[in-house]
Amino acid sequence: MYYVVTGAAGFIGSKIVEGLNFAGVRDIIAVDNLQQSDKVRNLARLEIADYLDQADFISRLDSFDGAVEAVLHEGACSDTMESDGRYMMENNYRYSKLLLDWCQDEEVPLLYASSASVYGAGPEFREERGCERPLNVYGYSKFLFDQVVRRTLPGKSAQIAGFRYFNVYGPNEAHKGRMASVAFHAYNQLVSQGKVKLFVGSGGYGDGEQRRDFVHVDDVVDVNLWFLERRHISGIYNCGTGRAQTFNELAAAVINTVQGTSFSPKELAARGLIEYIPFPAGLREKYQSFTEADLSRLRSAGYPGEFKTVEQGVAAYVGELQKP
């Protein structure tokens, strides 16, 4: 029996493949689109049984009847600035719906990536319809599929678990370019320019004091694998730390880890190591100045795991980025 991981060469998908390998699972069908070929580096050191292009996988779904243990669906267009709504809806919504229907017909568990973007500007981040106000077509594609899942859950034939990822960072994200995490960009700015650039204040917050729920990818993988082992639990759950921290704190964690110091953000700014820059035209109005996962449902489901703080997670990540 095979485990199918879609988006397997991507950021979170490749780390899930790694987590399955660590748990002794090798019978993995990795599904992705390698038009962006540098993603293959994320898979090169991992063990899989087969690789299929996304389009081939969809066309061959019926050939996998009775052969799949579970589907971990991480594949999506994650570019929140993507303006082609038809492409976004086909790739994120229609593709996911097809997989859901197949998994339900086959009685196969489906664990899938949703997104905190369904909440828009907030201010509340609970898994409830009244909190969901997506601001772009990416967020809408995730929101709409979540609604399909909600309608399916009462009569489900197998586990369906969706995870609303907050601001995920960590190894294997370099290929994401501008959509890579703030931690990734902060590290590279520090190395190339000798400082980290943050936005000036917005939404009532001071310079660099905007707050996000930054979650390390290893913690995201732990959540997925915990649910995979408990197939009686279904639903849609936030996947973040439940603890908003500032961009200043993240920048300080990067700088202090690289330089072996323990300066505060204020001290780092005074030393010119943090610089505050204006927002690009049109971005301030769409900017999320605060996100924080409400973990009540996740904890009620029984998930016991702890989540790394920015200081812990960024230090570990910078250590990985510094390896040759």
- What number is the average pLDDT over the span 176-195? 96
- In the set 97, 156, 176, 197, the catalytic residue is 176
Tokens (6 digits) for 158: 């197998």
In tens, the pLDDT along 297-324 reads 999 999 999 999 999 999 999 999 999 8
Instruction: Using DSSP, state whether 212 is helix, strand or coil.
Output: strand
Question: How confident is the model at residue 35, as a pLDDT?
Answer: 87
In tens, the pLDDT along 224-279 reads 999 999 999 999 999 999 999 999 999 999 999 999 999 999 999 999 999 999 99
Above 90 in pLDDT, residue 6? Answer: yes
Instruction: Using DSSP, state whether 205 is helix, strand or coil.
Output: strand
d(CA 271, CA 211) in angstroms, rounded, equals 23
Question: How confident is the model at residue 275, as a pLDDT?
Answer: 98
Above 70 in pLDDT, residue 81? Answer: no
Length of the chain measured in residues? 324
User: Considering the chain, what is the average pLDDT of its residues?
Assistant: 95
Question: How confident is the model at residue 171, as a pLDDT?
Answer: 97
77 CB burial (10 A radius; 0-12, 13-18, 19+): buried
In tens, the pLDDT along 95-104 reads 999 999 999 9
CATH topology assigned to domain 2-166+216-240+294-306 = Rossmann fold (3.40.50)
Burial 252-289 (b: 16+ CB within 10 A, else e): bbbbbbbeeeebebeebbeeebbbeeeeeeeeeeeebb
d(CA 224, CA 220) in angstroms, rounded, equals 7
- In the set 3, 95, 119, 138, the catalytic residue is 138
Q: Are 170 and 217 in contact (CB under 8 A)?
A: yes
Which residues belong to CATH 3.90.25.10 in the chain?
174-211+245-288
Which residues belong to CATH 3.40.50.720 in the chain?
2-166+216-240+294-306
Question: How confident is the model at residue 226, as a pLDDT?
Answer: 98
CATH topology assigned to domain 174-211+245-288 = UDP-galactose 4-epimerase; domain 1 (3.90.25)
Tell me whether residue 176 is one of the annotated catalytic residues.
yes
Tell me whether residue 138 is one of the annotated catalytic residues.
yes
Question: How confident is the model at residue 80, as a pLDDT?
Answer: 61
